[in-house]
Amino acid sequence: MSTPTRIYTPAERRRRAALVARGTRQAFADAVDPRIQRQLDAIDAAAEDRAAREQAALARQLEDAKNELATARAREKAASREERTAARTARKAAEDRLRRCERALRR
């Protein structure tokens, strides 16, 4: 499943449903108010902007997680015998974070 192109808040969902219902009733009466379409367009634009920002934030987090994992792997390779256990734990934590970020980006 991919990230939705629009993310509506609960209030926007309710408002949009009410506007669609009102527009439908007006369409049956052949008296559609153009303000309804403008309001729907404004709600849709806000939802699209919200989805784009969320997608960009998830992409930034994924890049940070990849960099963190690369750093953890390098530290593990360069660690002394005494520090190797802690470095391995840090690498595994970085791998877990990367997996969570990838999963969030796919949702």
For 37, residues 6+ apart whose C-beta sits below 8 A from its C-beta are 23
For the whole model, what pTM was predicted? 0.73
Residue 32, pLDDT score: 82
Give the separation between CA 71 and CA 104, rounded to whole angstroms.
22
- The tokens describing 36, both together, are 């309804």
Q: Which residue did the predictor score with more confidence, 64 or 29? A: 64
**Tokens 């520090």 label which residue?**
83
| pLDDT of the residue at 83 | 93
For the segment 37-87, what is each residue's pLDDT rounded down to a tens digit?
Answer: 999 999 999 999 999 999 999 999 999 999 999 999 999 999 999 999 999
CA 25 – CA 45 distance, rounded (Å) = 24
Q: What is the pLDDT of residue 5?
A: 85
Task: Quickly state the pLDDT bin for 1 (edges 50, 70, 90).
Answer: very low
What tokens does 18 get? 């009410």
Task: Provide the mean pLDDT of the chain.
Answer: 92
Structure tokens of 39? 């309001």
